[in-house]
Amino acid sequence: MSADRLKIIPRAASTPQDTDLAAFWMPFTDNRYFKSTPRLLASASGMHYFTPEGRKILDATAGLWCVNAGHGREKITEAIREQAGVLDFAPTFQLGHPKPFELASKLVGIMPAGLDRVFFTNSGSESADTALKMALAYHRARGEQSRVRLIGRQRGYHGTNFGGTSVGGIGGNRRGFGAQVWGVDHLTHTHGGATSFTRGMQAPNADLAGELEDLVALHGSETIAAVIVEPVAGSTGVLVPPRGYLDRLRTITRKHGILLIFDEVITGFGRLGSATAAEFFGVTPDILTLAKGLTNGAAPMGAVVASREVHDTVVESAPPGIEFFHGYTYSGHPLAAAAGVASLEVYAEEGLFARAARLAPIWEEAMHSLADARHVTDIRNIGLVAGIELAPREGAPGGRGAEVFRRCFDDGLLIRVTGDIIALSPPLIIEEAQIGEIVERIRTTLETVE
Ligand SMILES: Cc1ncc(COP(=O)(O)O)c(C=O)c1O
């Protein structure tokens, strides 16, 4: 590839110098393709991104399921600015500073009852691994050292650290990276045998959660520490659980003394019309992971919210000294914590979770109006999330999805694709007219794609 192809020369004054694209090894990116045909974002406001050339892009993905209150929220920006001027960094190992305490207290105010102890991380991946370690520490503290197995689910995504990769169920994310964490098993994903074009949850056609009983019979409950699932699987194409599935998982985990972890990195902060999916589905896990919307995407931060029982067991059974040998230099970072406090305030002041709930039926109607659009084989939705599945090209799975993504972007719409599934998750501030715009742009784009 020539050096010239690695450079782009933006026309707008917002990025005055050439952008050299070579050095940044981009995550989850076709680096060679991107660097030959870059698509850059330069700024953002409200529902839109802007390219360096000044093109306006409607954001139908809240960035990456992050920006639930929309882009460039002044209150959040100002909180970060102010905090940076007061305290740039302070450790939270054996020391403290006010912001993460304030954020933790505020956060538990919107968590399901009983989940009221918060451990801060810097990402969803770190939250997943922290939650798994917390579960192991809990059982050890209770004298059940044999509980070391972790159960995930096929098509699950829990980030890219070793624990999350291991319990995750995406072949491509796992295959390249060795044997990973020992002692992991997986439940079947919740999309097997699902009917097409379902709205919200569908009636169960198999006892998928009951498979956990099979794993208990296989391994012995005394070896299983935790089950981790996304209440709604996002990254593998919006897989909504069948009715009763999560309740049944809760019942079986409780029966066998297994901890239940909900990975709410994308479902947290109003995505389904409630603060958490746990609240939406009425099922409370023992541990719940968060990230993304915690700071409205404005600063990297994750959180793991544990039940009082999990926390107290680990903390109170330990001898004097550090109780949980785990943490990150940036756990509770002042700038991120300030962004978190401001984000929670924006969500509350603007009633954004309730807004998502109000918009959900309109969103559902709009999404399903694409049922007759070209290439569409399935549509599923819940809250302000939708998955639109396209027929794959013969011998080239993912090719059609990738082309739709690029064409939509070039046409002024940011969507997310996973293989040949379009996943949509707009900021919760979206207007009805913009929902219509998303649908129209997708329909038009699908017409032009072979
Ligand atoms: C359910 C879930 N868990 C974990 C993660 C990983 O989060 P991060 O990319 O912040 O590490 C994601 C990211 O999309 C996610 O959807």
Q: How far is the CA of 126 from the centre of ligand 1 (A)?
A: 9
Is residue 173 within 8 A of residue 160, CB to CB? The reply is yes
Residues shown for the chain: 450
Q: How far is the CA of 157 from the centre of ligand 1 (A)?
A: 7
Which residue's alpha carbon is nearest to atom 3 within ligand 1? Answer: 158
Q: Which residues contact 286 (CB under 8 A, 6 or more apart)?
A: 135, 226, 259, 260, 261, 306, 307, 309, 310
Q: Hey, what are 50's tokens?
A: 């802007």
Residue from 120, 265, 425 whose mutation best tests the ligand 1 pocket (most atoms within 8 A of CB): 265
Which residue's alpha carbon is nearest to atom 8 within ligand 1? Answer: 124
Q: How many Å is the maximal CA-CA distance in the chain?
A: 67
Instruction: Average the pLDDT over 421-432 and give the result.
Output: 98
CB atoms within 10 A of CB 254: 12
pLDDT in tens, 94-144: 999 999 999 999 999 999 999 999 999 999 999 999 999 999 999 999 999
Alpha-carbon distance of 230 to 272, in angstroms, equals: 13
Q: How far is the CA of 206 from the centre of ligand 1 (A)?
A: 28
pLDDT in tens, 4-22: 333 443 344 344 346 799 9
Q: How far is the CA of 124 from the centre of ligand 1 (A)?
A: 4
Position 393 pLDDT exceeds 90: yes
Q: What topology is assigned to 39-69+351-448 in CATH?
A: Aspartate Aminotransferase, domain 1 (3.90.1150)
Query: For ligand 1, which residues put their CB under 6 angstroms from it?
Result: 123-125, 128, 157-159, 230, 234-235, 263, 265-266, 291
Which residue reads 């690695």 in tokens?
6
Position 307 pLDDT exceeds 50: yes
Alpha-carbon distance of 302 to 125, in angstroms, equals: 8
Report which of 417, 308, 426, 408 is spatially closest to residue 360, judged by C-alpha positions.
426
In this chain, the answer to whether the domains covering 39-69+351-448 and 75-349 adopt an identical fold is no
Q: Which residues contact 259 (CB under 8 A, 6 or more apart)?
A: 135, 138, 139, 225, 226, 227, 253, 285, 286, 287, 310
Q: Within 13 Å, how many C-alpha atoms sit on residue 336's CB side?
A: 23
Which residue reads 């300030």 in tokens?
338
Class for the domain spanning 75-349:
alpha beta
pLDDT in tens, 41-88: 999 999 999 999 999 999 999 999 999 999 999 999 999 999 999 999
Give the number of the atom of ligand 1 that is nearest the alpha carbon of residue 292.
Answer: 10
Residue from 132, 158, 262 whose mutation best tests the ligand 1 pocket (most atoms within 8 A of CB): 158
Q: How far is the CA of 90 from the centre of ligand 1 (A)?
A: 26
List the chain domain ranges. Answer: 39-69+351-448, 75-349
Q: Hey, what are 116's tokens?
A: 């009221």
CB atoms within 10 A of CB 143: 8
DSSP state of 23: S
